Amino acid sequence: MTALKTAIVGAIDRLGDDLEKLSRQIHDNPELCYEEVKAAAWLTDFLAGQGFKVERALAGIETAFRATIETGEGPTVAILCEYDALPAIGHACGHNAIATAGAGAGAGLAAVRDKLPKGRIHVIGTPAEEGGGGKVKLIQAGVFTDVDAAMMVHGFDQWVGHMDLLGIVRVGFEFTGKAAHASADPWEGVNALDGAVQTYNNVSMLRQQVRPDARIHGIITHGGAAPNIIPEFAAAIFYVRSLNLDYMWELQKRVIACAEGAAKATGCTLKVIAHNDTVYEPMKRNETLLGAFRANLTALGITEAPPLVDRLGSSDVGNVSQVIPTIQPLMKIAPDNTPIHSRAFEAAAVSPLARAGTLAAAKAMAMTTLDLLAEPALVKRAHDEFKGAK
């Protein structure tokens, strides 16, 4: 390891207690999509304290931010943070650890800023990954236009360099029927809940006939007011995912057809609410960036688990990967076989294992950022690969 990398690693280790405190603070105050006011404030205060120039409410999004260190004309590298939580189960996706790893990587680089090669480092706070598409809005606002490469890490139960991401589109359904007394005059009613239940069942049957990389899943969000009233209103929302965007759109049509059939069968009227403005795109792989990150992981003494076979998620970092070379390696912050979005993962996200994983990921990202600043040819290779890939 070079002297500069050793200095970065030492700086992140010295900040270990502060970073763990930051992670715990965010974890213990879970905030949903676009409401991450406290997390954004704590992260920007921390980064400002490390010498970053901080822009809050980036692109008019209250909880987005950009923290920058500039050492001259050279490559621009972005390290991305996420910090939103899930409804009901808090930080069960471990975004507190993602935010801390990003802030820690930035702090490690800031500690050696006088010795850094020329370039620009951004730590970008990207809100609302769990459904609101914060990165989609930041892309649309041009935040990534001048960025040469981006990286972030996500918590997991293993160290893995690359995870394929499925494209995802959301579609909601509202059924309107007619209220009636469920005992005295049920034949006078039109049951909106039946429309929602029948849609759910139709989708369950559709699921057997789809390709193995597709995922369709939904919940009923409104199911009536009281058992003695035939429900006049019911609603459901479904997520439709595939590695292939064309197939995702085809499946969305088939899911809508499931709802249309249910509406016809039950006599309800149907309103389709397509959330086509926050589609998450599949992850475009970048072996050049991955190779640099992996070499740094190895230098830190970390061994990767075998490649993932069928564990697939979705994220708006996929959209970033479609506009610039991007990686999202997975860091081990939980015991083996702990699924994300579980209560066990929520507990693990502030464990000693999470502290160790988060600090190691911060070091690997800082070292990879240093590689990119020091070697513009590496940035060019990443771009050439990006242009050639589909």
Which residues contact Zn ion by CB under 5 A? 93
Single out the residue of 64, 69, 23 nearest to residue 44, CA to CA: 64
CB of 135 to Zn ion, least distance (A): 12
CB of 313 to Zn ion, least distance (A): 7
DSSP class per residue in 198-262? HHHHHHHHHHTTS-TT-EEEEEEEE--S-TTB--SEEEEEEEEEESSHHHHHHHHHHHHHHHHHH
**Rounded distance, CA 27 to CA 228, Å?**
42
Rounded to 5°, angle at Cα 315 from 312 and 317: 125
**Rounded distance, CA 30 to CA 49, Å?**
23
CB of 251 to Zn ion, least distance (A): 21
User: What is the C-alpha radius of gyration for the chain, rounded to an integer number of angstroms?
Assistant: 23
Q: Which contiguous run of DSSP H or E holds residue 343?
A: helix 343-348
Length of the chain: 390
Kindly tell me which of 202 and 321 has the beta carbon lying closer to Zn ion: 321
CB of 155 to Zn ion, least distance (A): 7
CB of 88 to Zn ion, least distance (A): 13
Q: Could you tell me which residues come within 8 angstroms of residue 167 by beta carbon, excluding any fewer than 6 positions away?
A: 241, 242, 243, 244, 245, 248, 279, 280, 281, 282, 314, 318
CB of 278 to Zn ion, least distance (A): 15
Cβ–Cβ < 8 Å for 71, 118: yes
Kindly tell me which of 81 and 262 has the beta carbon lying closer to Zn ion: 81
Kindly tell me which of 93 and 378 has the beta carbon lying closer to Zn ion: 93
* Closest chain position to Zn ion (CB): 93
Cβ–Cβ < 8 Å for 290, 385: no
CB atoms within 10 A of CB 51: 14
CB of 94 to Zn ion, least distance (A): 7
CB of 341 to Zn ion, least distance (A): 6
CB of 130 to Zn ion, least distance (A): 5
Kindly tell me which of 94 and 106 has the beta carbon lying closer to Zn ion: 94
Kindly tell me which of 73 and 310 has the beta carbon lying closer to Zn ion: 310
Token reading at 143: 């935040």
Kindly tell me which of 93 and 152 has the beta carbon lying closer to Zn ion: 93
Kindly tell me which of 96 and 198 has the beta carbon lying closer to Zn ion: 96
**Rounded distance, CA 39 to CA 23, Å?**
9
Kindly tell me which of 152 and 203 has the beta carbon lying closer to Zn ion: 152
**Rounded distance, CA 363 to CA 21, Å?**
18
C-alpha distances in angstroms, 201 versus 168, 197, 227, 280? Answer: 21, 6, 21, 26
β-bridge pairing 269-280 and 120-125: unpaired
Kindly tell me which of 93 and 243 has the beta carbon lying closer to Zn ion: 93
Kindly tell me which of 93 and 379 has the beta carbon lying closer to Zn ion: 93
CB of 40 to Zn ion, least distance (A): 17
Q: Could you tell me which residues come within 8 angstroms of residue 2 by beta carbon, excluding any fewer than 6 positions away?
A: none
